[in-house]
Chains A and B, each alone.
Chain A
Amino acid sequence: MSEGYFIFELGATRLGVPATSIETVLEPQRASPLPQAPSYLLGLIPFGQEALALMDLRAFLRLELDSADETMPRILVLQTGDLRVGIEVDRAIGVIDVTNDEINPVEVLQGGRLKDFLHGEMDDDGNLTGLLDIDALLNGARV
């Protein structure tokens, strides 16, 4: 049994979220900051008739500021349950199919708080990729 994962990069870290949780991908834009928000919360951006919270995933996961070779920043709009949030990524790669037996326990990816929000890691053609637990991530980051 396989599931589609949307793969993206944060610096040198390669991550994936279930493709079904991706609502859309936006061009980067400046957010209006919110008072008393934690530092990983960049603020709000207009999204249709609503306001979308924008999150600095790298800051939330406390990943180091290493840079990818080639960046093309995007905002991924993620949704799970009643929670919808935009996350800034350095590069959006695309969707891959992942079978259950390809997913391994998290052993190699250990940076920052990464391990708390991964439900597994996998080798995608030689690229170590962490698969995020989207419920844990968004519920852990909500304020």
Chain B
Amino acid sequence: MNDPLPTADSSFLAPAAQELAVVNRLKAGDRGAFRELYQWYGDRLYREILRKLPNREAAEDCLKEALRKAMERIDQFEPRGASIFFWLKRIAVNLAMDHHRAEQRRRKLHQRIDLMESTAAKPPAPDRNLEVEDTQREVDLSLSKLNPRYAQVLRLRLIEERSREEAAQIMGVSLSNLDVLLHRACKAFRKVYPP
């Protein structure tokens, strides 16, 4: 299975010397330097946030808030040989996790209320207290809760990025059936992701 996370890929990073110059300009209050930095990493950060927070509006708010916080504390950033991208990403992902946890608490509260109101016995809920920070593990965990066919089509089409034809052949279904299966699988996945 391919690793969908691009974190190991560092080809998108700006040259270290260039980045250091931009960081120094940021610390000196050069707003043009921020525009440059945003052009380099803004979109990348946004997509990192989307992995944790797939809602587009929430991810945009999170991106804005993360960069605001980072730029207000840019004086505290020390490169130490690492790209500023990873510092920004850490801030952004932490914010996204905070948002997710808050949402989870709200959901749990609603579940408890539903449980109290319900007279019928329900199967035990999956353990939501598991603090899984790694996105890949979170995805795997969510997939494991799905119908195996749904999980398979998601893996083939979205994670392994196989073509329609290839995926349909592996699953032994027609192309149109594959599309419908994928559509349903997406809906089911969103209900359990993030876990």
Q: Bound pair: A and B?
A: no
